[in-house]
């Protein structure tokens, strides 16, 4: 027994000696922690200090959808009613419920007296009428139907009031500090308001759902009520016909809110979101959105800065490890919105510690790469270890533990 233990120890010493050149046994300074880098999210820093055109409305904002980068804004945090643009949140909750499997587009809804009695924009649902979720969703997106919105709210939550509570919870999750919902339609009611910034954020979330565009680009369609009646839907978003690349959006208008729109357009792979609140007329809101889109597409482009998995040059020193360094990689994708021709003003700077302590596991975040535009930090990309580095002696301990737990013959 003693001879076997001695033989094992000698063998392990020979293994360590054979790899002595690969292991740096010299003292290494203790690792120093990198100072935390405080960076604002991209969307809080508009590219322009003011709008480059005259905006004859109460509030406005232009955003690039992929990054959330705001190009310019005006009175973006002023709370105000937005009429049926409120339905952006109602539509979002419905699509999220479908994707989560809570309801299906084919589920049939029986219209209540409350839903059928809604005023304003309607698809003219009757009490007791049966329509599937997909049809109701379409009428809300295309025709801004208040009766369909309430029917879906009741189906999802039991009542419009409970739906409004869910809208407020989702708003809090999205960080919409300027929003409060009382109903799901946007019809005038005391205490309901939102902001241009919040509308852009919730619209960006909505436009991330591909299923939305199955409905939003419908220009005209007949809705069969099943009793011989047919209602013709016409899309309230006239930009579908007026602007090349526009494929979605939500309009709204009341005396209190003025004329509002949150529209989106896509060209050359870049999607923009234009929010116009409180315009003087329907024609004015669409003209402003078109001008905002024109400016964005003419002056900006998406610039791919980084791709997840890209190797970082060099190795980060490791103290107390079986290897003296670890390879690194970027742990995020980043595409910036830049002024055309300004790509050379983008630079990357590492924010890494002098070393890390073993053990290190692949995927551990060890630092960041800071992305600067004209010397202004606009984003950070996590840097992670690409491989495991065990602590010194871990191999010996594994072998020793294995030997101690190995079943032994009862005759020994």
So which residues are the catalytic ones? 84, 87, 144
d(CA 266, CA 268): 7
Contact 139, 223 (CB under 8 A): yes
Residue 328 three-state SS: strand
384-393 residues labelled b (16+ CB within 10 A) or e (exposed): bbbebbbbbe
Q: What is the dihedral of CA 243, 248, 249, 251, to 10 degrees?
A: 70
Residue 14 three-state SS: helix
Contact 188, 86 (CB under 8 A): no
d(CA 111, CA 164): 19
Alpha helix ranges (H) inside 331-377 = none
Contacts of 290 (CB under 8 A, 6+ apart): 239, 242, 243
List the structure tokens of 48.
């322009």
The count of other CB atoms within 10 Å of the CB of residue 122 is 19
d(CA 40, CA 125): 47
d(CA 70, CA 42): 8
- The C-alpha angle 266, 216, 172, rounded to 5 degrees, equals 85
Q: Choose among 66, 74, 73, 76: nearest CA to 337.
A: 66
d(CA 127, CA 84): 23
HSE toward the beta carbon, residue 286, CA cutoff 13 A: 19
Residue 329 three-state SS: strand
d(CA 45, CA 330): 24
Distances in Å between the Cα of 86 and the Cα atoms of 131, 200, 370 are: 23, 12, 37
Chain position carrying tokens 């508009």: 46
Q: Which residues pair with 350 in a beta bridge?
A: 369
């Amino acid at each position: 027994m003693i001879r076997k233990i001695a033989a094992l120890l000698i063998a392990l010493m020979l293994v360590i000696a054979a790899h002595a050149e690969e292991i740096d046994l010299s003292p290494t300074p203790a690792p120093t922690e990198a100072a935390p880098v405080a960076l604002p999210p991209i969307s809080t820093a508009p590219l322009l200090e003011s709008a480059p055109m005259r905006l004859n409305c109460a509030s406005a904002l232009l955003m690039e959808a992929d990054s959330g980068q705001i190009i310019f804004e005006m009175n973006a945090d002023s709370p105000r009613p937005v009429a049926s643009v409120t339905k952006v949140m109602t539509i979002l909750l419905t699509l999220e419920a479908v994707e989560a499997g809570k309801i299906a587009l084919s589920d049939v809804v029986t219209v209540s007296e409350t839903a059928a009695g809604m005023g304003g924009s309607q698809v003219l649902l009757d009490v007791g009428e049966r329509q599937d979720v997909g049809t109701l969703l379409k009428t809300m997106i295309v025709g801004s139907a208040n009766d369909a919105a309430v029917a879906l709210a009741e189906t999802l939550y039991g009542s419009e009031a409970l739906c409004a509570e869910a809208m407020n919870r989702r708003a809090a999750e999205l960080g919409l500090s300027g929003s409060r919902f009382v109903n799901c339609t946007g019809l005038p009611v005391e205490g309901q308001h939102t902001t241009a910034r919040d509308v852009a954020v919730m619209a960006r979330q909505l436009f991330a759902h591909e299923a939305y565009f199955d409905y939003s680009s419908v220009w005209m369609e007949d809705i069969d009520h099943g009793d011989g009646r047919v209602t013709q839907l016409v899309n309230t978003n006239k930009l579908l016909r007026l602007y090349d690349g526009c494929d979605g959006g939500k309009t709204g208008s009341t005396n209190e809110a003025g004329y509002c729109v949150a529209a989106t357009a896509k060209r050359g792979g870049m999607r923009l979101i234009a929010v116009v609140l409180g315009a003087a007329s329907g024609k004015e809101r669409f003209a402003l959105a078109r001008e905002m889109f024109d400016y964005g597409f003419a002056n900006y482009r998406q610039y791919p800065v980084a791709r997840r998995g890209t190797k970082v040059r060099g190795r980060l020193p490791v103290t107390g490890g079986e290897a003296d360094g670890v390879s690194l990689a970027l742990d995020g994708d980043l595409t910036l919105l830049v002024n055309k021709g300004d790509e050379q003003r983008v630079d990357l700077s590492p924010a890494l510690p002098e070393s890390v302590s073993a053990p290190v596991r692949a995927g551990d975040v060890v630092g960041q790469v800071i992305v600067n535009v004209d010397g202004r930090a606009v984003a950070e990309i996590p840097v992670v270890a690409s491989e495991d580095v065990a602590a010194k002696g871990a191999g010996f301990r594994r072998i020793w533990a294995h030997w101690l737990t190995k079943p032994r013959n009862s005759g020994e």
